[in-house]
Amino acid sequence: MTSAPEPPSPVTSITGPTRVGGSGADAFDPEHLLSMRGIAKNFGAVQALRNVDIDIPVGEVTALIGDNGAGKSTLIKAISGIWAPSAGQIFWKGKEVHIHTPRTATDLGIATVYQDLALCDNLDIVQNMYLGMEETRFGLLDEIKMELATLKTLSDLSVTTVKSVRQLVGSLSGGQRQAVAVARAVMRESEMVILDEPTAALGVSQTAQVLELIRTLAAKGIAVIVISHNLTDVFSVADRIAVMHLGTMVSHGPIANYDTASAVELITTGESSRVPSTLSPAQ
């Protein structure tokens, strides 16, 4: 798609372990479940994304951070098939893919849990977990099979606070709802789970539950992308950080290379006097 990749901007070139250049499949590292190269997205004259490169490794939590309007959601939507990028390449397990519909993303094994969770309050946990992919027996719903599988998935994820999986989702707390939405994604055998602001509306203990859940996902070998505004959460849960600023990926690397101050600096100004010296292992 990008026959003539744009030259990388100065900022991207000095940051991140990403092999910058966006020149195609040879840049692929088998550790990376998903790699994006030179992704751009235009809405009319507005450039929402410019030449974004990112690699998402398996079994790790990547925190995608940035101010409002930095392009985090736009990038996520390109991965989850809400819209196709205007330019750039996406590699899934080393093969170039074109994710044009949410269905394509789901089929690849990418599950996105949006902030609104998309749960039906009037259905119970089992019914929500299986919505759209019900198990049937002789054409009729197989409630027992679905309930057993739900119990197993929740216990695999160490979700222990729900009293009964036959509880209506509307009666659950915010953290429990988040857990159901995540479990739903996991049960679909997703290899990558994207969480959009999973802790935004939660209290302290609920947040702790969700962060715990995120670590459990990563421990199961799932690649996790978390969008968050909360740097405390980010530093407590993430293995890697990717910072976006005005539609570009300004920094990208293991969390050890950052601290709260440098992250804030990157989020607000797009550059940091301190980060470049501590990283760029690719060079």
DSSP-assigned letter for residue 282: T
Parallel/antiparallel/unpaired status of strands 192-196 and 140-141: unpaired
Exactly one of 18, 209, 230, 251 binds another protein (CB under 8 A); which one? Answer: 209
Quick one: 58 or 208, whose CB is closer to another protein?
208
* Residue 133 contacts another protein per CB under 8 A: yes
Residue carrying the six token digits 């990547």: 62
The nearest distance, CB 47 to another protein, in angstroms, is 28
The nearest distance, CB 55 to another protein, in angstroms, is 18
* Residue 278 contacts another protein per CB under 8 A: no
Spatial distance between the Cα atoms of 12 and 141, rounded to a whole number of angstroms: 52
* Residue 57 contacts another protein per CB under 8 A: no
The nearest distance, CB 9 to another protein, in angstroms, is 29
Spatial distance between the Cα atoms of 270 and 282, rounded to a whole number of angstroms: 20
Contact range with another protein by CB under 8 A, out of 33-41, 51-59, 143-151, 261-269: 143-151
User: Is the alpha carbon torsion for 83, 267, 112, 57 positive or negative?
Assistant: positive
* Residue 238 contacts another protein per CB under 8 A: yes
Spatial distance between the Cα atoms of 7 and 20, rounded to a whole number of angstroms: 9
Spatial distance between the Cα atoms of 49 and 43, rounded to a whole number of angstroms: 10
Query: Containing H/E element for 18?
Result: none
* Residue 144 contacts another protein per CB under 8 A: yes
* Residue 212 contacts another protein per CB under 8 A: yes
The nearest distance, CB 43 to another protein, in angstroms, is 22
Exactly one of 17, 59, 109, 174 binds another protein (CB under 8 A); which one? Answer: 174
Exactly one of 19, 93, 215, 229 binds another protein (CB under 8 A); which one? Answer: 215
Alpha helices in the chain (DSSP H): 10-14, 72-79, 102-108, 125-129, 143-156, 174-187, 204-219, 231-237, 260-269, 275-278
**HEC string for 161-219:** CCCCCCCEHHHCCHHHHHHHHHHHHHHCCCCEEEEECCCCCCCHHHHHHHHHHHHHHHH
Sequence-distant (6+) residues with CB within 8 A of 147 are 126, 165, 166
The nearest distance, CB 228 to another protein, in angstroms, is 14
* Residue 220 contacts another protein per CB under 8 A: no
Contacts (CB under 8 A) with another protein, residues 77-116 = 102-103, 116
Contact range with another protein by CB under 8 A, out of 51-59, 132-140, 263-271, 275-283: 132-140
Contacts (CB under 8 A) with another protein, residues 152-171 = 158-161, 163, 168, 170-171
Binding mask 175-194 for another protein (x = CB under 8 A): xxx-----------------
* Residue 211 contacts another protein per CB under 8 A: yes
Query: Containing H/E element for 97?
Result: strand 95-97
Spatial distance between the Cα atoms of 150 and 146, rounded to a whole number of angstroms: 6
Residues engaged in binding another protein (CB under 8 A): 102-103, 116, 118-123, 127, 131-134, 136, 139-141, 144, 147-148, 151, 158-161, 163, 168, 170-177, 205-206, 208-209, 211-212, 215, 235-239, 255-256
